[in-house]
């Protein structure tokens, strides 16, 4: 029965003179509280003494004096549940923690703040970087985490502030730190091997707009020579140590040395720097590249002092110089050098004689040799093979004048059987002719003659092509072409 109804019933009893307590005589004073009214139905009455716990100071407001009154529909904690139905009307997070003012993880941010930041209200560390969302937004340490924030950071970025986290890509190369640790690449260097492609490009074969080269397939991010680029490629990192110590063109010079070199061999200046991605270089102001034959040997692609690789068998720009056997690069080898009668002393040779030393081909001292006091030829043979004589050696360091057997094998591997196919292989042999002991150019356009460093008694071995292909023990005063071979 409602209090209002109870008060009305009590008034009726009083009018009838009933005590409401059995057979108490009418007119006898009741010991119960006076009968009062409750207009707002909150169970409290303004007619009661103020000290009475049921006193109502405002009978028009059902929420005064008790905001938990069943008739009070206020929501003091703002959680959407009216006070009478709320287990704790002063705590907005009871009975549910989804209210905007609540921090349901807790992580230091209210649900409203999480909505504003875009973080997850039920995950304390949304980006998984080891700092709670509130720590990142407010720069206030939370003792529930090991890390201590040093500044505000992005709670949605797992790499802010810790770019070294496993899931981060701190060098922005397309690989996470975890990926780089597994592969062995440097997580702080986008292009570990310095070849011009980011590590992620090499591993995933996905182009990165921050690099110029475009990957064509997966390659090794730890190999500076993979992928192998064409000569002239310039997007490598010449400050990268891994790249510097590689020899991508296999010419015997490290990439770093070739990229920075300005001098080679006996202090001779270069007209251009080496190309670390091309097996080509400049020696004594002439350019040479590598020619690889089937047996694995590597040769010059042109004759010594030739202006270019032969474009035809009679291309005069590819003929090159004609050296007397065992002589150095003193100028005698030029096709138009002047002549002088010989012989001259090998032991006294100082490299200053630019003249072609002629010998009488009808001399009784045949075979003719431009030099004396080295009859067995061992000094000159060593100079052309070991390539360590300042005056007589003619090939650059790392190269030498071949043996006769090496020349024979090269001709076989290049399928050279005569003048008709001397241009068909990788060596591209032009018909440079020879220079006789009298200093006369012979067989130009009709013959091919190459010196070896091999000895043959008082003569030396040469390989020739004219009407056929053969080997000859030739006078050392004769001038032949030279092709250097790599050691």
**Is the pLDDT confidence value at 1 over 60?**
no
Do residues 422 and 469 touch, judged by C-beta distance below 8 A? no
Which residues, 6 or more positions from 116, have their beta carbon under 8 angstroms from its beta carbon? none
Indicate the pLDDT class of residue 251, thresholds 50, 70 and 90: low
Which pLDDT score, from 0 to 100, does residue 78 have?
80
Where does residue 21 rank: exposed (0-12), middle (13-18), buried (19+ CB within 10 A)? exposed
Which pLDDT score, from 0 to 100, does residue 285 have?
85
Pairing outcome for strands 371-372 and 344-345: parallel
Which residues, 6 or more positions from 184, have their beta carbon under 8 angstroms from its beta carbon? 222
**Is the pLDDT confidence value at 232 over 80?**
no
Distance CA 196, CA 229 (A): 10
pLDDT digits (tens, 9 = 90+) for 376-419: 999 999 999 988 888 899 998 889 999 999 999 999 999 999 99
Tell me what the mean pLDDT of segment 304-320 comes to. 96
Which residues, 6 or more positions from 198, have their beta carbon under 8 angstroms from its beta carbon? 173, 174, 190, 191, 208, 210, 211
Which pLDDT score, from 0 to 100, does residue 270 have?
35
| Range ranked top by mean pLDDT from 79-83, 198-202, 275-279 | 198-202
**Is the pLDDT confidence value at 92 over 70?**
yes
Query: Taking all residues of the chain, what is their mean pLDDT, rounded to a whole number?
Result: 86
Tell me what the mean pLDDT of segment 56-74 comes to. 88
Domain limits, the chain: 316-486
Indicate the pLDDT class of residue 363, thresholds 50, 70 and 90: low
Minimum mean pLDDT among 41-45, 267-271, 291-295: which range? 267-271
More confident residue, 71 or 198: 198
Do residues 288 and 309 touch, judged by C-beta distance below 8 A? no
Pairing outcome for strands 339-341 and 356-358: parallel
Which pLDDT score, from 0 to 100, does residue 350 have?
83
Distance CA 182, CA 193 (A): 16
Tell me what the mean pLDDT of segment 152-175 comes to. 94
pLDDT digits (tens, 9 = 90+) for 427-486: 999 999 999 999 999 999 999 999 999 999 999 999 999 988 999 999 999 999 999 999
Indicate the pLDDT class of residue 265, thresholds 50, 70 and 90: very low
DSSP class of 429: -
Indicate the pLDDT class of residue 140, thresholds 50, 70 and 90: very high
Return the SS3 of 183: helix
Which pLDDT score, from 0 to 100, does residue 123 have?
97
Which pLDDT score, from 0 to 100, does residue 275 have?
64
pLDDT digits (tens, 9 = 90+) for 283-300: 888 988 888 888 889 999
**Is the pLDDT confidence value at 325 over 90?**
yes
**Is the pLDDT confidence value at 14 over 50?**
no
This prediction has a pTM of 0.51
Which pLDDT score, from 0 to 100, does residue 475 have?
95
**Is the pLDDT confidence value at 268 over 80?**
no
Which pLDDT score, from 0 to 100, does residue 276 have?
67
Which pLDDT score, from 0 to 100, does residue 30 have?
38
């Amino acid at each position: 029965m409602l209090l209002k109804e109870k008060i009305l019933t009590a008034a009726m009893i009083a009018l009838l003179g009933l005590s409401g307590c059995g057979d108490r005589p009418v007119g006898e004073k009741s010991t119960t509280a006076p009968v009062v009214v409750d207009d707002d139905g909150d169970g409290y009455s303004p007619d009661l003494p103020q000290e009475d716990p049921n006193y109502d100071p405002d009978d028009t407001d059902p929420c005064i004096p008790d905001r938990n009154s069943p008739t009070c529909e206020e929501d003091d904690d703002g959680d959407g549940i009216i006070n009478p139905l709320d287990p704790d009307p002063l705590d907005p997070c009871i009975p549910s923690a989804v209210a905007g003012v609540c921090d349901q993880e807790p992580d230091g941010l209210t649900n409203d703040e999480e909505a504003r930041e875009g973080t997850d209200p039920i995950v304390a560390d949304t980006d998984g970087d080891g700092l709670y969302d509130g720590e990142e937004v407010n720069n206030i340490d939370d003792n529930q985490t090991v890390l201590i924030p040093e500044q505000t950071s992005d709670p949605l970025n797992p790499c802010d502030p810790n770019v070294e986290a496993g899931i981060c890509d701190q060098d922005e190369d397309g690989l996470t730190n975890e990926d780089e640790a597994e592969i062995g690449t440097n997580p702080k260097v986008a292009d570990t091997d310095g070849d011009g492609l980011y590590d992620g490009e090499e591993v995933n074969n996905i182009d990165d707009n921050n690099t110029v080269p475009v990957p064509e397939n997966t390659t090794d991010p730890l190999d500076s020579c993979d992928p192998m680029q064409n000569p002239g490629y310039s997007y490598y990192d010449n400050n990268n140590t891994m790249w510097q110590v590689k020899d991508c063109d296999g010419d015997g010079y490290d990439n770093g040395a070739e990229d920075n070199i300005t001098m080679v061999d006996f202090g001779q200046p270069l007209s251009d720097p080496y190309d670390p991605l091309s097996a080509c270089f400049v020696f004594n102001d002439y350019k040479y590249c590598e020619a690889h034959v089937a047996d694995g040997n590597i040769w010059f692609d042109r004759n010594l002092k030739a202006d270019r690789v032969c474009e035809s068998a009679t291309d005069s720009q590819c003929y090159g110089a004609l050296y007397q056997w065992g002589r150095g690069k003193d100028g005698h080898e030029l096709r138009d050098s002047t002549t002088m009668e010989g012989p001259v002393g090998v032991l006294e040779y100082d490299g200053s004689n630019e003249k072609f030393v002629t010998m009488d081909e009808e001399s009784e001292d045949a075979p003719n040799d431009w030099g004396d006091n080295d009859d067995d030829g061992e000094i000159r043979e060593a100079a052309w093979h070991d390539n360590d004589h300042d005056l007589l050696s003619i090939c650059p360091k790392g190269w030498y004048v071949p043996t006769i057997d090496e020349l024979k094998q090269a001709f076989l591997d290049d399928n050279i059987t005569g003048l008709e196919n001397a241009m068909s292989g990788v060596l591209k042999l032009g018909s440079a002719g020879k220079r006789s002991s009298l200093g006369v150019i012979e067989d130009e356009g009709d013959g091919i003659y190459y010196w070896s460093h091999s000895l043959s008694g008082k003569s030396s071995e040469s390989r020739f092509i004219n009407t056929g292909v053969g080997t000859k023990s030739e006078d050392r005063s004769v001038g032949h072409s030279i092709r250097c071979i790599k050691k």
